[in-house]
Amino acid sequence: MSWEAFELYAQEYDAWFDRFPLAYQAELAAVRELLPRPLGRAVEIGVGTGRFAASLGFPLGIEPSPAMAAQARRRGLAVIGAVAEHLPLGDNRFDTVLMVTVLCFVGEPRWALEEATRILKPGGRLILGVLDPDSPEGRRLTQEQAQSRFFREARFLPLPRLIGWLAELGYQNLVGRQTIFQDPAALAAPEQVRPGWGQGLFVVLAGDKGTGPR
């Protein structure tokens, strides 16, 4: 899929986090609940402008858009230019791999998961931040996505399919957190983070890579 919109409108994309700080903080909180501590050797795939990596302590990011990567570097991150389906990183090198709202924008999401799994050490943790198309806000988003500069090309993955892929790839101890239960523009107070998935627009899934052969 094309990431041209992110290249052309990187500043507009980054400004979303300042326009909707309560939603951004809720998403960060949901990810934080499932991060291992310490992170160990960590990378964010699809680092964008670095909003999550810089706040969560990830020193390294992968990003195909030069304009987005430039902003991430200004936030102090090391960034490698690459796509999620072809990671220029060695096998079994990372303790923690993060992907936030990436899979809906890649051409081959299953392939991207396989690559993330390849670079993760056995027992390492994969953390995925995704938008749930079957949540109330997710249904609204999919109805309006044709009008969105960034989401018009997105293909939102049903969570059962994503969870099935993680099981096929050998992930264990799968857990979830969810947040954003209303339109981010309507938030007047910090949003809750709840266990599981099914109601919140923003869902975080985390699992540990199996130690045996896949």
Tell the residue number behind the tokens 């392939």, with chain if given.
111
Domains of the chain by range and CATH?
4-208 (3.40.50.150)
Give per-residue pLDDT as tens, 176-212.
Answer: 999 999 998 889 988 999 999 999 999 999 999 998 6
Q: Is the pTM of this model over 0.75?
A: yes
Helix (H/G/I), strand (E/B), else coil: 138? helix
194, β-bridge pairs: 178
Classify residue 145 by its DSSP letter. G
Measure the CA–CA gap between 39 and 43, rounded to whole angstroms: 10
Give per-residue pLDDT as tens, 56-89.
Answer: 999 999 999 999 999 999 999 999 999 999 999 9
120, β-bridge pairs: 94
Give per-residue pLDDT as tens, 103-160.
Answer: 999 999 999 999 999 999 999 999 999 999 999 999 998 888 777 777 777 889 999 9
175, β-bridge pairs: 206
